[in-house]
Structure 1
Amino acid sequence: MADEKDTVHYDHATGGWGSLRGIAETALRERPTPGALKTLSRQNKPGGFMCVSCAWSKPKKPHVAEFCENGAKATLWELTTRRCTPDFFAAHTVSELRDWSDFDLEQQGRLTHPLRYDAASDRYVPCSWEDAFADIGAGLKAIDPKQSVFYASGRASLETSYLYALYARAYGHNNLPDSSNMCHETTSVGLKKVIGSPVGTSVLADFELCDAIFFFGQNTGSNSPRLLHPLQEAVKRGCKIVTFNPIREKGLETFKNPQNPIEMLTPKATQISTLYLQVKAGGDIAAIMGMMKHILVVEEKRWAEQQQHVLDVDFIEQHTVGWDEVKAKIEATGWDEIERESGLARRDLEEAADVYISAHRTIFMYGMGLTQQVHGFENLATLVNMALMKGNIGRDGTGVSPVRGHSNVQGQRTVGISEKPELVPLDTIQRLFGFDPPRTKGHNTVESCEKILSGDVKAFVGLGGNFVRAIPEREAMEAAWSRLDLTVQIATKLNRSHLVHGKASYLLPCLGRSEQDMQASGPQKVTMEDSLSCIHGSLGTNTPASEHLLSELAIVSGMAKATLAPNPKLKWDEWTDNYDNVRDLIQATYPDEFADFNERVFTPGGFYRGNPARERIWKTESKKAHFTVPKTMTAWGSEDAEGRWRLMTIRSNDQFNTTIYGYSDRLRGIEGTRDVLLMNPEDIARTGLVAGQTVGLRSDAGDDVHREVGGLKVTPFLLPTGCIAGYYPELNPLIPLWWHDEESKTPAAKAVPVRIVA
């Protein structure tokens, strides 16, 4: 394989002075308000402000600075002094703004006034909140409720999310897709099926006890840098970390702690991964099967020679079903197939397996590299197989731990944002509020897009996010979007989705989480759930960006009052006046998980809402954890063919989801551009291309639909042969809407079949 010196790369450790420089550059660009430093000092601390970036957990005893580079960027981005006022929209038509980049749109700053689209002038014009709510309510009342979609981005608080879901069901539908549908729905579906819980089983204390951590398909350095602190501490006490990722991500290679003076002032840094294996995109099933094959060999040998088990045979017998079938599949799978499909050598997989064999307690962590595959469920189920072999679920220091993105993406599902009625206590909702909530399944993200394309959906309400930019099949979706009767976007800054509008369109600006939310009863606190199932309170203290802003919760309540028939049990004004009342509703709806909710809001480290699988209570059909025989050895849903590449869409170091903070992907050594195509240098030479050449990519999914993105600069990077990479969301147009995980319909953005167009 090519040497790093032949590629773009970053010569330093993650963190360190580079991280501080990245924060400083964002601060200079955003010119944040004076309260920014105070907000950062309170960020992710008990009684403080909870970061709007990733969902990684918050410790009971925080560091002096409990924020990372991307968390600081998110806060500075929200507290910018830039303002996007009605004057800006008076100067620019919507058609003109569609040609602007994502970065330039958001650089206009915070939205300040409610706006409606005026077709005659092709501009957004200011309107009153009263008129906006009345018109939105009238538009929704004019259609069948099931012809509407209420999307949530994963950032809104538990309180807002609960009322948003209640509003949808009181209106008459379960069409509640959310950002989880695009990233971790495979987790929600897969873990629920095999261990009976839709979320991870680890807690923060487990990282102080584990002997090994296995990482699959996650970019910690850019997407969740605060996670590097417990990883560094684990490594220093002897924990071994094994990483499987097609891309070498600096965060899981070396880390220099910006809060450690010795590390900052010397060359000292911590090597994070003991072993880093660049698995082929879609090759995780084969890699895991290879490790399990070696474990079985060692198990048989150790039992024969020492009468000792490697496997936790008591756990397998008492708590699982399906082991014999999986064992037979492992034994029948040959090393030739494992090496071919994983792209890894047998000796490397055996070395990784030896780490697992030696560890008494192991945590398995993963990101979208595992979930965003056509056979993502098979990926996840096979990973759970490996955990179950040694009883590494339901013991301290163990667990399956997905690394989630948006700060409350897990929590909004907990309190009712779901298209699946069986996951929501509808009988309780009926009893509390005096209406019969709909019992038919709603639309997830892919299904919502399909219904928009077919014309069956006529209205779209977005609670945050940048839906049109984030989804696959962007060109067809944008063309269909203009046929919607009504589009409503609740947001803090301007983005691409606001410019792809329906016949009637409203842009409703909301408070940011860092800003003071003053209601009739005084300043309000909100809550969110981290990826380790802990609930945290957050209190904003900054002056709002505009006197015309409303909180997300107040906006939801305003729309609900304008849409729904009067119901004395739907007390939208009381709930807006005091969010304690909403937390009482959440407690009444979910009493086991939210007992004494208002009293526990600011529990240091959050309060744990519980997880049956952590207690080895398996809420599956069999009441046991399930071993699953993989039906394929590769997670990508295509076949290798001459000229066909496996494209991975990735995020940069200067980005959070569709939010682009700048053009520096420092940790990969790429500066000043996002129009790149990352390729192995050997692949570049083999195909007759040259570094720096401009090429395009064309979809090769096989449905004869022309999908193409051009203007990409060939850039040498260490990748497995046959695999290429480029940035999300720019390359989303190459992903067919139907290219998704078979079980969960999560878009399969981590192995997309494409061809290079010179």
Structure 2
Amino acid sequence: MAKQEADNPQIKPYWGPAGGWGSVNSLADILPRERVNPEVARELVRQNKPDGFMCVSCAWAKPKDHHPFEFCEEGGKATAWELTTLRTTPEFFQKHTLAELREWKDYDLEQQGRLTHPLRYDAATDKYVACSWDEAFDAIAAELKPLDPKSVVFYASGRASLEASYMYALMARMYGSQNLPDSSNMCHESTSVGLKEAIGVPVGTTQLVDFELCDAIFFFGQNVGSNSPRMLHDLRDCRKRGVEIITFNPLKERGLERFTDPQNPIEMATLGETRISTQYHQVKAGGDIAAMMGIAKFVIQWDDEAAARGDKRVLDTGFLDQHTQGAEEFIEAVRRTEWADIERESGLKKKAIEAAATVYARSDAVLGIYGMGLTQHVKGVENVRMLVNLLLLRGNIGKPGAGPTPVRGHSNVQGQRTVGITEKTELAPIDKYRELYHFEPPAEKGLNTVEACHGVIDGSVKAFIGLGGNFLRAVPETAAMEEAWPRLELSVQIATKLNRNHLFPGRVTYLLPCLGRIEEDRQASGPQAVSMEDSTSCIHGSRGKAAPASPHLLSEPAIVGALARRLLPANPHVDWDAWVADYSLVRDAIERTYPEYFKDFNQRLFQPGGFWKGNKAAGRVWETKSKKAEFLVPSDLSAAGFEDAPGRFRLMTLRSNDQFNTTIYGYHDRFRGVKGTRDVLFMHKADMAEQGLAEGQIVALEGDAQDGKLRRREGLIVTPYDIPRGCLGAYYPECNVLIAVDHHAEESFVPAAKSVPVRIVA
């Protein structure tokens, strides 16, 4: 297929709702571009259904009682993207050097289609050439064996199944490496750290049923319309029964404003809409701690007044006394906080915060839903802890219809952590590994994503194995990372399509094409199923039935098993061949390793709605240091991690409506009115005037990390937008070049991509 270009940029307001005909038309647009065959219609009907396949994009929960079409616009695009009939063959690489391909855009690379053959990089020609699977596995193992395992990174993207992830983590540790970073490190590690510290579990406590039982939802920093649109059905149902939805987000995101259900014929025919948010507060980027502090201040003030009158308390004092630690210190800190500071740091007026607090104080069951708008800040962990503080004040954890509800990104990113993809020794099943497989696992902490980036840059990381993903494009410090990557001794990428990471070879480089989740995976015992975990800790089976894109593809478990056999000494307690032949044996191994979560795993694999792995905090059992839910007094009202200064802005990196993570489906961000380009800088009109900038002017951004390094992004179109003053918005991953590798969340090391210090260069 010919290389395509973005052209004819158009930027004008879009007034339609989320969903509706806009969603239908957007999905209809991608199908001919991917040249899908009629098979895609059959697969879309199977998507997110019992005995079907789990969507390859987001991790939102799959209902027991499903809709006729249980996929959204983004999920439909992901399915068309995987089932494309376009192919990237060895002949393609004979026509293009990697140096040439590095000039291509992300969309153009992936739009060439599915990879068809295992490939080896040939430095003499700067091209990939076809090779056999045996050659690839033998060469990779030969390169890895002499290396110090501590210098090798085993990265996993959030798409790999529980089965592949379990095998991958075991292989890495049997080799001797604890370096198992994954995409959690880039998004919700602040959740894993913050919730674990506060309530004893690293994940949310709620399930889909809680949407039927809540009477208010507080929403922070998550764009449901582009990132997890199927949740709009749950939000719509809540609004129909009168649930108030209070949203805190810097940008007005259409999915949190209005929704037309594409599966409702009456709404589609009449252009009917459901108003989603009953209040919408455009908090300043990094201002959520201050906003929540303001809500808490009102609630505590009203409780003080009720206590003085002898009326019913506003705080759940019984819950606080029995189940929490540190409430008194937190309440006193709230009382001491000045309103002027809250208003300055949140960007909100006291009256607006009072309106939100009024809803919170009168609601009996509150869901706290959030995304990376909380986690990707320097104080991201404190953002999460502050939301827990707010929920604890009125006992909104561990009761029906209430609790923290983090919205995870990739479809199995939470599940990978459950089965051992982690750099943290305390989260790995070390004792079970010893018992089951009779080897001594590495005991030291491994490298997270930020530390892996440092290791690539300084040369201490010698080899990188990527189980999916587009690591180089997803991480911060893009320029330095791309410059350092060719110094690796070994780079191995397991993928379905070509992406930018593949264009930066190490000394020895292999590109290994794998089956997609929607494709039939036939092994020695017959067709296989895999499994994954959604955002609500429910486990689902997934069965692919589509014809594979090429007869030369291997499944992810088959690739991991084949490499493990060549890399590791023989172990009578691990039969890699048997596991590859029958994935149910891998699930048996997962059950033996994690009996608390995976009892009767194979029997429950295709249970409608999935099976819940359980959550102790949901039952008010707190596995914290104090054995109670713990309050935290935040260290700062701003989560940004840097001071405001003249000319310094807070940049938020954003997804468009036409992408999922680093995968770009096209150049149309419908909800923000952008078409034909991704080179956009969203900016408040008053800030434009103050900087002397005109609409449509082309500018550059420079990072303002104060570390002496130049980070620059050229060619951005100034676009007036409804955004808080002092804040800017621009697209991810193109603007990752502006993020210093050390600009990350404290404790969790999540890149702080939602408040990046930058300056505008006209």
- TM-score with structure 1 setting the length: 0.99
Give, in whole Å, the separation in 2 of the partners of 1:31 and 1:680.
40
- Give yes or no for the alignment of 1:50 onto 2:46: no
**Cα offset for 1:304?**
3.1
Choose from 86, 91, 107 the match for 1:87. 91
In structure 1, the partner of 2:139 is 135
Q: List per-residue Cα deviations over 1:620-639 (Å, max 9, x = no partner).
A: 00000001001101000111
Choose from 318, 329, 350 the match for 1:346. 350
Q: List per-residue Cα deviations over 1:288-307 (Å, max 9, x = no partner).
A: 00011011121122333352
Q: List per-residue Cα deviations over 1:416-450 (Å, max 9, x = no partner).
A: 00001111121111111111111111000000111
**Cα offset for 1:686?**
1.8
In structure 1, the partner of 2:5 is none
Choose from 237, 242, 253 the match for 1:238. 242
The residue correspondences of 1:14-53 to structure 2 (distance < 5 A) are: 14-53=18-57
Give, in whole Å, the separation in 2 of the partners of 1:280 and 1:682.
15
The residue correspondences of 1:305-324 to structure 2 (distance < 5 A) are: 305=309, 307-324=311-328
Give, in whole Å, the separation in 2 of the partners of 1:457 and 1:96.
27
Give, in whole Å, the separation in 1 of the partners of 2:250 and 2:552.
47
Give, in whole Å, the separation in 2 of the partners of 1:298 and 1:347.
15
In structure 1, the partner of 2:476 is 472
Structure 2 segments unaligned to the other structure (5+ residues) = 1-10
In structure 2, the partner of 1:4 is none
Which residue type is aligned with residue 197 of structure 2? Answer: K
Give, in whole Å, the separation in 2 of the partners of 1:167 and 1:8.
51
In structure 1, the partner of 2:498 is 494
**Cα offset for 1:34?**
2.5
In structure 2, the partner of 1:264 is 268
- Give yes or no for the alignment of 1:483 onto 2:487: yes
- TM-score with structure 2 setting the length: 0.98
The residue correspondences of 1:96-111 to structure 2 (distance < 5 A) are: 96-111=100-115
Give, in whole Å, the separation in 2 of the partners of 1:534 and 1:603.
10
Give, in whole Å, the separation in 2 of the partners of 1:244 and 1:28.
38
- Give yes or no for the alignment of 1:400 onto 2:404: yes
Give, in whole Å, the separation in 2 of the partners of 1:28 and 1:314.
60
CA contact (8 A) 2:267 2:273 kept: yes
Give, in whole Å, the separation in 2 of the partners of 1:235 and 1:299.
28
Give, in whole Å, the separation in 1 of the partners of 2:151 and 2:428.
21
The residue correspondences of 1:253-402 to structure 2 (distance < 5 A) are: 253-305=257-309, 307-402=311-406
Give, in whole Å, the separation in 2 of the partners of 1:539 and 1:28.
25
Which residue type is aligned with residue 494 of structure 1? Answer: L
SS at match of 1:225: coil
CA contact (8 A) 1:8 1:716 kept: no
Q: List per-residue Cα deviations over 1:217-271 (Å, max 9, x = no partner).
A: 0000000000000100001001000000001100000000000111101132000
CA contact (8 A) 1:9 1:717 kept: no
Give, in whole Å, the separation in 2 of the partners of 1:8 and 1:618.
50
- Give yes or no for the alignment of 1:563 onto 2:567: yes
- Give yes or no for the alignment of 1:651 onto 2:659: no
**Cα offset for 1:567?**
1.2
CA contact (8 A) 1:394 1:616 kept: yes
SS at match of 1:527: strand
In structure 2, the partner of 1:225 is 229
Percent of paired sites with the same residue: 61
Which residue type is aligned with residue 454 of structure 2? Answer: E
In structure 2, the partner of 1:423 is 427
Give, in whole Å, the separation in 1 of the partners of 2:754 and 2:158.
21
Give, in whole Å, the separation in 2 of the partners of 1:714 and 1:126.
44
Q: List per-residue Cα deviations over 1:28-57 (Å, max 9, x = no partner).
A: 110113211111001001111110010000
SS at match of 2:230: helix
Which residue type is aligned with residue 632 of structure 2? Answer: T
The residue correspondences of 1:68-217 to structure 2 (distance < 5 A) are: 68-217=72-221
Give, in whole Å, the separation in 2 of the partners of 1:10 and 1:312.
44
The residue correspondences of 1:355-754 to structure 2 (distance < 5 A) are: 355-754=359-758
Which residue type is aligned with residue 433 of structure 2? Answer: I
Give, in whole Å, the separation in 2 of the partners of 1:460 and 1:398.
41
SS at match of 2:487: coil
CA contact (8 A) 2:20 2:271 kept: no
**Cα offset for 1:9?**
3.0
Give, in whole Å, the separation in 2 of the partners of 1:48 and 1:358.
42
**Cα offset for 1:173?**
1.1
**Cα offset for 1:8?**
4.3
Give, in whole Å, the separation in 2 of the partners of 1:627 and 1:439.
31
Give, in whole Å, the separation in 1 of the partners of 2:562 and 2:13.
50
Q: List per-residue Cα deviations over 1:576-613 (Å, max 9, x = no partner).
A: 00000000000000001000000000000000000110
Matched pairs, number: 752
Which residue type is aligned with residue 567 of structure 2? Answer: T
Which residue type is aligned with residue 18 of structure 1? Answer: G
CA contact (8 A) 2:470 2:662 kept: yes
CA contact (8 A) 1:154 1:178 kept: yes
Bigger mean CA deviation after superposition, 138-147 or 511-520: 138-147
Give, in whole Å, the separation in 1 of the partners of 2:429 and 2:122.
41
Give, in whole Å, the separation in 2 of the partners of 1:280 and 1:263.
34
Give, in whole Å, the separation in 2 of the partners of 1:544 and 1:629.
53
Give, in whole Å, the separation in 1 of the partners of 2:103 and 2:716.
18
Cα RMSD, aligned residues only: 0.7
**Cα offset for 1:687?**
1.4
In structure 1, the partner of 2:6 is none
Bigger mean CA deviation after superposition, 700-709 or 294-303: 294-303
CA contact (8 A) 1:200 1:400 kept: yes
CA contact (8 A) 1:8 1:717 kept: no
Give, in whole Å, the separation in 2 of the partners of 1:33 and 1:154.
27
Structure 1 segments unaligned to the other structure (5+ residues) = 1-6
SS at match of 1:754: strand
Which residue type is aligned with residue 117 of structure 2? Answer: H
Which residue type is aligned with residue 41 of structure 1? Answer: V
CA contact (8 A) 2:485 2:504 kept: yes
Which residue type is aligned with residue 387 of structure 1? Answer: L
Which residue type is aligned with residue 383 of structure 2? Answer: N
**Cα offset for 1:708?**
0.4
Which residue type is aligned with residue 130 of structure 2? Answer: P
